[in-house]
């Protein structure tokens, strides 16, 4: 229950900070997303009350932008870049390999909640193509054969 109380306090602080600024909704959602990794429904409902904005308007914005998520994230987010440079350097084969290893498709999480696979547009490291990012760490010039080792590092950390 501690987490819930914290959530409540954070939210009120956030709204206070942004209340007087015009067009604040997206910035508040960014902060929520940064704290929880997604935007929980009950947070949206509270936010709607605090800001005096219809819930539909909040959901309208959440669902429009790719950045906001409605589901809790997995422990590690695996993002494979499919920007033009990575696409040309065959990033598709990396995605196939990860899908094969983790038994999930793009946009899904593993059953144990360990990994989530995302395909993203350009991480801005085209010189290092093909690129994938696990959480905050960027892996450049990734070879298909290296993926097993990279992923198992994260599994070992847990043990």
Partner 1 sequence: MKKITKEDIEKVDPSKKDLGKNWIKVGMSTCGVAAGADEVYAALIDEAKKRNIEIDIRKCGCQGACSVEPLVEVNVEGLPKVLYGRVTKDVAVTILERHVRNKKLLHDYIFEIN
Partner 2 sequence: MEKKIIYIRDTDSAQKERINDYFTLFSNELRDANLLEQVQLVKVADIGLYEKGVAVKIIPENIVYSGIKTTDVKEIVEETIRGGKIIKDLLCGKKSKQLRAVLKNCGYIDPESLEDYIAAGGYKALVKVLTEMKPEAVVEELKKSGLRGRGGAGYPTWMKWNFARGMNSPEKYVICNGDEGDPGAYMDRSVLEGDPHSVLEGMIIAGYTIGSTKGYFYIRAEYPLAVERVQKAIDQATSAGLLGNNILGSNFNFELEIRLGAGAFVCGEETSLIASIEGKRGTPHPRPPYPSVKGLWGKPTIINNVETLANIPLLIAGGGTKFASVGTEKSKGTKVFALTGKVKNSGLVEVPMGITLREIVYDIGGGIINNRDIKAIQTGGPSGGVIPQEFLDTPVDYENLGKLGSIMGSGGMIAIDDTDCLVDLAKFYLEFCVDESCGKCAPCRLGGYQLLQILKKISGGNGELEDLNRLKKISYAMQKASLCGLGQSASNPVFSTIRYFEEEYKRHIVDKKCPAGKCKALISFKVISEKCKKCGLCMKNCPANAITGSREAGYIVDSQKCIKCGVCFDVCKFKAVMKE
Summarize as ranges the residues that interact with partner 2 (CB under 8 A).
Answer: 21-27, 29-30, 60-61, 64-68, 82-85, 87-88, 93, 96, 100, 120-127, 129
Give 76 or 118: the residue with its C-beta nearer to partner 2. 118
Choose among partner 1, partner 2, none what residue 96 binds, the Cβ cut-off being 5 to 8 Å by kind.
partner 2
CB nearer to partner 2: pick between 8 and 84: 84
C-alpha dist (Å) from residue 25 to 42, 53, 128: 16, 9, 35
Binding site for partner 1 (CB under 8 A): 123-128, 131, 138, 140
Residue 38, binding choice from partner 2, partner 1, none, Cβ under 5 to 8 Å by partner class: none
Look at residue 138 and give the partner it binds from partner 2, partner 1, none, a contact being a CB closer than 5 to 8 Å depending on partner kind.
partner 1
> Which one of partner 2, partner 1, none is in contact with 140 (Cβ closer than 5 to 8 A by kind)?
partner 1
Q: Which is nearer to partner 2, 35 or 114 (CB)?
A: 35
């Amino acid at each position: 229950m501690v987490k819930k109380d914290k959530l409540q306090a954070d939210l009120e602080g956030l709204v206070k900070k942004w209340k007087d600024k015009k067009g604040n909704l997206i910035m508040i959602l960014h902060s929520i997303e940064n704290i929880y990794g997604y935007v929980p429904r009950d947070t949206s409902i509270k936010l709607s009350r605090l800001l005096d904005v219809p819930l539909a308007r909040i959901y309208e914005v959440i669902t429009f932008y790719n950045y906001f998520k409605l589901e809790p994230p997995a422990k590690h987010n695996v993002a494979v870049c499919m920007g033009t440079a990575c696409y040309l350097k065959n990033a598709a084969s990396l995605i196939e390999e990860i899908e094969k290893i983790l038994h999930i498709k793009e946009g899904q999480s593993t059953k144990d909640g360990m990994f989530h696979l995302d395909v993203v547009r350009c991480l801005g490291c085209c010189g290092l193509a093909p690129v994938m990012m696990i959480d905050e760490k960027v892996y450049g010039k990734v070879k298909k054969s290296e993926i097993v080792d990279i992923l198992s590092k994260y599994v070992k950390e847990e043990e």
